[in-house]
A = this chain, B = another copy of it.
Amino acid sequence: MTPQFELDQALMERYVTELAQFGAFGESGVKRAAYTPEWVAATDHYAAWCEQAGLDVHRDAVGNVWGRLEGATPGKTIASGSHIDSQLPGGRYDGALGALTALFVLQSLKKQFGKPKRTIEAVAFCEEEGSRFPGANLWGSRAVTGRIKPTEAEQLRDYEGVTIGQAMLAIGLDPSRIPSAARTDIDTFIELHIEQGPVLEHAKLPVGIVTGITGLRHYVVEVMGETNHAGAFPMDLRRDAMAGAAEMILGVVDTAAKLGRPAVTTVGRVQAEPGYPAIVPGKARFTIDVRHPDADCLRELYRAHERLLRDVATRRGLQVDWEITLDQPPSPSAPSVIRLLEESATQQQIPHMRMHSGAGHDSQIMANVAKIGMIFVQSHRGRSHTPDEFTNMEHIMLGARTLAAAVYQLAYR
């Protein structure tokens, strides 16, 4: 028997709208980079809401904000949340929605059911995007899981050259205290997030239960041929690096397209050198982003791509070289949490489906110290990392209801 949860849509709506004012960009967007005044104001506001909701507020060493509802019995805690930094500009839902629904659910459960048996926490993580400090991605959750290397605070810099350590000091956070943010007392972490893709919308379902987060690699590929005059050099004597790169790009993208869901391959950045219309490029560089939630399929996809790069280069008399700049294994959700979230949605009569996450999330880091699970809500037209991002309030409430039922099950039963 699951109770009927009393969830106040007007309050949820207010949270989303008000938080979006911090770093507001245009009509609907947000530009809220970690450790900037807008980000500080947003965390202050989040902390104030936690206090108003009767939660114990704690800011850890990197500036993650925790709102805690102490349970009657000792033991590990149940946590939920996401990040409140944004892409530059991004939308108001990516990340923020997870931090806000966590607070909203804790507040609602407290109001309706009082003190829980087990401790529950809502968290607003910082710098998940790495949008200000490239390489600092998942900074907040990495601090919580003890995964920030001692040198990072001095090494990672923003586009103005400010280190992340300096940026922390400037707002009163001491980088030498980063290790103190580590937690070992979290039993389960559940993150609600917008899907950032069009799968739920196409399936006409409001909610997705995430079975795992995709593994991925970033390749930076360099193709080397010979720079020549575009007019004076016959086609049959050229070693055109860009023509080879085009065949490679088309090849890897089509490989993933033919494999079909959930394989994805993207070439997002391309450069021909020297880069003049009338010069046959002697060099071409491009990135490949490859993702698959299944570790074996992912390995096979990597192999197929690498084989294709080599084959094209050989056939065209080019050299090819690559660097792997990012290499993340798939991160499956905890089976017990997947089941719990599915049961919660079913009991609440919320239409849902299982799906994987093609994007990375704080959950994949939290998986190192806790059982994790994720709830996705629809992204209109799959838009994300843009001010166009939109999720309607009805879907947000269905996601929050799924979360409420799961947290209730874990903390009140």
Contact = CB atoms under 8 A, between A and B. Distances in A.
Interface of A: 195-199, 202, 214, 216, 218, 227-237, 240, 242-243, 245-247, 249-250, 253-254, 256-257, 260-272, 274-281, 284, 287-289, 291, 325, 357-360, 379, 382-386
B269 A197 contact: no
This protein's copies in its complex: 2
Contacts of A228: 197, 382-384
B277 A287 contact: yes
B249 A218 contact: no
Contacts of A267: 242-243, 246, 272, 281
A192 to B, nearest CB: 15
Give the 10 A-B CB pairs with smallest separation, nearest first: A197-B232, A231-B358, A230-B266, A196-B232, A246-B249, A277-B287, A231-B359, A246-B250, A235-B257, A232-B358
B279 A231 contact: no
A256 B238 CA distance: 12
B250 A235 contact: no
Given A229-B359, A268-B230, A382-B233, A253 B260 contact: no
A234 B231 CA distance: 41
A260 B235 contact: yes
A281 B281 CA distance: 22
Given A218-B277, A229-B359, A268-B272, A263 B235 contact: yes
Contacts of A287: 277
B384 A232 contact: yes
A90 to B, nearest CB: 11
B268 A270 contact: no
Contact of A198 (B198, B234, B250): B234
B264 A275 contact: no
A253 B235 CA distance: 8
A240 B253 contact: yes
Nearest to A271: B270
B270 A278 contact: no
A111 to B, nearest CB: 34
Contacts of A246: 245-247, 249-250, 253, 267
A238 B149 CA distance: 37
B268 A198 contact: no
B231 A242 contact: no
A98 to B, nearest CB: 15
A281 B197 CA distance: 15
Contacts of A260: 235-236
A277 B265 CA distance: 10
A253 to B, nearest CB: 4
A277 B385 CA distance: 13
Contacts of A357: 231-232
Contacts of A275: 268-269
A268 B279 contact: yes
Contacts of A256: 235
A360 to B, nearest CB: 7
Nearest to A382: B233
A249 to B, nearest CB: 4
Given A232-B357, A246-B249, 15 more contacts: A196-B231, A198-B233, A202-B237, A214-B231, A231-B289, A234-B262, A235-B256, A236-B260, A243-B254, A266-B279, A268-B272, A269-B276, A270-B271, A271-B271, A277-B288
Contacts of A235: 253, 256-257, 260-261, 263-265
A197 B274 CA distance: 18
Nearest to A381: B226
Contacts of A325: 277
A208 to B, nearest CB: 11
Contacts of A280: 266, 268
B264 A230 contact: yes
Contact of A382 (B237, B264, B278, B384): B237
Given A232-B195, A232-B197, A385-B229, A269 B272 contact: yes
